[in-house]
């Protein structure tokens, strides 16, 4: 196996495992590789005092230029953006009401969301709504929602509607954004779109969102942060929440400037070149897996149409001598742990995401696949632990933290 001891790797000094991220932009793995322009920007501002609201004024036109919104600012995370935008929809620019939250006495406090959008991205979407003091009003059913559900839920207490764009949500049977916005706007209800992990910075505002929210630390390769973009008054009222519930979601000067730099770098990024490199990784892994007993590897497009493909690796435990989840766990062990995308692994497959690799890691991933599949084939028994045990083990580990 490739030995890539690297004395410059901070993880070695810290005693942390040098994980290779083949799962995508995961908060639990440190989100993404921060682009050098953002690292430099953050380093330059960290020792300096700045008037932070003025720095946010510098973020606004950059966010506006890239998103097509009228204004924007940077907050702690996309998740924070949900709570702040919901708060703004309730309080407007009433500073006393902003300070009173999450007490919503006298305010409109209902926020509509399609049931099929109430997912967990590591925390529940509806909690982001409730944190502001609002009530999440779930409309439709898990896999079906019609405009009449939406329309029927709007009343004089409705403050806003939240729309989530994500592979986590139900991908059929729900109201699409354009129609969603049309129904909401006809009743004077503003629409907040959680587009945390989407590449297209313009389309959701184009399709009727009043505010679109993105993560700085996902595909943009920025520092941990959230981007709020949209209609100027609504963005301002969202910004004003920094004097209220937003205080606990504070973003530092380095993340504001780092996000600006990441956005500017995104404008100039060689998107086609990166796609080509990623396709090369996928082809390498697919070739590595070709002909291996019990393994089927297919390149699939991203479910929410981001310009990104992933390799879906389906495992037949009888032929491969290992289950998909035991293989995922085996890959995550050893001196070069490879973390695959395993949200749906109980179905017998996982994905390999090429978008967060350092050059050279793709070859280590290929050799780890060969190594672990070879070990499994050589075993007489079929390695297949009950999938529920995996969850139990993870939870037990979490409940022991920090031990």
Among 62, 78, 181, 249, interactor with ligand PLP by CB under 6 A: 78
Task: Please report whether residue 226 would count as binding ligand PLP according to CB under 6 A.
Answer: yes
Among 21, 63, 121, 162, interactor with ligand PLP by CB under 6 A: 121
Among 79, 238, 242, 259, interactor with ligand PLP by CB under 6 A: 79
CB atoms within 10 A of CB 106: 10
CA dihedral 193, 199, 205, 211 (to 10 degrees): 40
Residue (121 or 351) nearer to ligand PLP, CB: 121
Residue (164 or 261) nearer to ligand PLP, CB: 164
Task: Please report whether residue 83 would count as binding ligand PLP according to CB under 6 A.
Answer: no
Task: Please report whether residue 127 would count as binding ligand PLP according to CB under 6 A.
Answer: no
**Distance between CA atoms of 79 and 82, rounded to whole angstroms?**
5
Instruction: State the nearest-atom distance from the C-beta of 156 to ligand PLP, in Å.
Output: 29
Among 60, 215, 255, 356, interactor with ligand PLP by CB under 6 A: 215
From 6-14, 76-84, 286-294, 371-379, span contacting ligand PLP (CB under 6 A):
76-84
Strands 309-315 and 295-301: antiparallel
Instruction: State the nearest-atom distance from the C-beta of 217 to ligand PLP, in Å.
Output: 6
Instruction: State the nearest-atom distance from the C-beta of 348 to ligand PLP, in Å.
Output: 24
Instruction: State the nearest-atom distance from the C-beta of 166 to ligand PLP, in Å.
Output: 3
Three-state secondary structure of the chain: CCCCCCCCCHHHHHCCCCCEEECCCEHHHCECCCCHHHHHHHHHHCCCCCCHHHHHHHHHHHHHHHHCCCEEEEECCHHHHHHHHHHHHHHCCCHHHHHHCCCCCCCCCEEEEEHHHCCECCCEHHHHHHCCCCEEEEECECCECCHHHHHHHCCCCEEEEEEECCCCCCCCCCCCHHHHHHHHHHCCCCEEEECCCCCCCCHHHHCCCCEEEEECCCCCCCCCCEEEEECHHHHHHHHHHHHCHHHHHCCCHHHHHHHHHHHHHHHHCCHHHHHHHHHHHHHHHHHHHCCCCCEEEEEEECCCCCCCEEEEEEECHHHHCECHHHHHHHHCCCCCCEEEECCCHHHCEEEECCCCCCCCHHHHHHHHHHHHHHHHHHCCCCECCCHHHHHHHHHHHHHHCCC
Instruction: State the nearest-atom distance from the C-beta of 122 to ligand PLP, in Å.
Output: 7
**Distance between CA atoms of 309 and 364, rounded to whole angstroms?**
20
Task: Please report whether residue 353 would count as binding ligand PLP according to CB under 6 A.
Answer: no
From 89-97, 193-201, 246-254, 278-286, span contacting ligand PLP (CB under 6 A):
193-201
Residue (126 or 210) nearer to ligand PLP, CB: 126
Instruction: State the nearest-atom distance from the C-beta of 51 to ligand PLP, in Å.
Output: 25
Task: Please report whether residue 166 would count as binding ligand PLP according to CB under 6 A.
Answer: yes
Residue (121 or 325) nearer to ligand PLP, CB: 121
Among 34, 145, 191, 196, interactor with ligand PLP by CB under 6 A: 196
Among 17, 19, 27, 375, interactor with ligand PLP by CB under 6 A: 27
Instruction: State the nearest-atom distance from the C-beta of 1 to ligand PLP, in Å.
Output: 32
From 73-81, 108-116, 130-138, 241-249, span contacting ligand PLP (CB under 6 A):
73-81
Task: Please report whether residue 259 would count as binding ligand PLP according to CB under 6 A.
Answer: no
* Look-up of token digits 């692994």: 345
Task: Please report whether residue 126 would count as binding ligand PLP according to CB under 6 A.
Answer: no
Residue (67 or 197) nearer to ligand PLP, CB: 197
CB atoms within 10 A of CB 43: 12
Task: Please report whether residue 144 would count as binding ligand PLP according to CB under 6 A.
Answer: no
Instruction: State the nearest-atom distance from the C-beta of 215 to ligand PLP, in Å.
Output: 3
Instruction: State the nearest-atom distance from the C-beta of 370 to ligand PLP, in Å.
Output: 32
Task: Please report whether residue 164 would count as binding ligand PLP according to CB under 6 A.
Answer: yes
Task: Please report whether residue 330 would count as binding ligand PLP according to CB under 6 A.
Answer: no
* Polymer length of the chain: 403
| Interhelix angle 271-289/361-378, nearest 10 degrees | 20
Residues forming the site for ligand PLP (CB under 6 A): 27, 77-79, 121, 164, 166, 194, 196-197, 215, 226
């Amino acid at each position: 196996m490739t030995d890539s001891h690297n004395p410059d790797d901070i993880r070695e000094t810290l005693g942390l495992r040098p994980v290779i991220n083949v799962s995508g932009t995961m908060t639990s793995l440190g989100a993404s590789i921060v682009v050098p322009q953002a690292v430099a920007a953050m380093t330059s501002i960290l020792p300096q005092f700045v008037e932070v609201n003025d720095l946010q004024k510098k973020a606004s036109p950059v966010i506006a230029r890239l998103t097509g919104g009228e204004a924007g600012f940077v907050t702690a995370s996309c998740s924070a953006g949900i709570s702040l935008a919901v708060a703004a929809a309730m309080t407007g620019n009433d500073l006393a009401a902003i300070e009173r939250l999450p007490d919503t006495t006298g305010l409109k406090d209902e926020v509509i969301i399609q049931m099929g959008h109430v997912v967990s991205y590591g925390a529940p979407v509806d909690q982001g709504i409730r944190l502001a003091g609002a009530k999440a009003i779930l409309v439709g059913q898990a896999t079906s929602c019609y405009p009449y559900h939406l329309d029927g839920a709007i009343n004089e207490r409705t403050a806003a509607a939240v729309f989530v764009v994500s592979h986590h949500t139900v991908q059929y049977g729900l109201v699409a954004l354009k129609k969603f916005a049309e129904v909401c706007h006809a009743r004077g209800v503003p629409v907040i779109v959680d587009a945390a992990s989407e590449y297209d910075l313009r389309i959701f505002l184009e399709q009727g969102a009043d505010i679109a929210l993105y993560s700085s630390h996902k595909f943009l390769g920025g520092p941990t942060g959230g981007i709020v973009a949209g209609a100027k008054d609504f963005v301002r009222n969202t910004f004003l929440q920094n004097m209220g519930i937003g205080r606990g979601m504070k973003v530092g000067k380095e993340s504001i400037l780092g996000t600006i730099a990441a956005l500017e770098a995104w404008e100039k990024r060689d998107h086609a070149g990166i796609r080509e490199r990623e396709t090369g990784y996928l082809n390498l892994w697919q070739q590595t897996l070709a002909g291996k007993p019990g393994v089927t590897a297919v390149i699939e497009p991203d479910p929410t149409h981001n310009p990104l493909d992933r390799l879906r690796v389906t495992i037949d435990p009888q032929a491969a001598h290992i289950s998909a989840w035991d293989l995922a766990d085996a890959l995550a062990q050893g001196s070069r742990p490879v973390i695959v995308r395993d949200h749906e692994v109980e179905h017998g497959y996982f994905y390999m995401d090429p978008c967060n690799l350092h050059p050279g890691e793709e070859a280590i991933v290929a050799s780890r696949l060969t190594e672990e599949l070879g070990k499994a084939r050589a075993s007489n028994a079929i390695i297949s632990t009950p999938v529920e045990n995996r969850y139990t083990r993870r939870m037990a580990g979490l409940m022991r933290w920090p031990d």
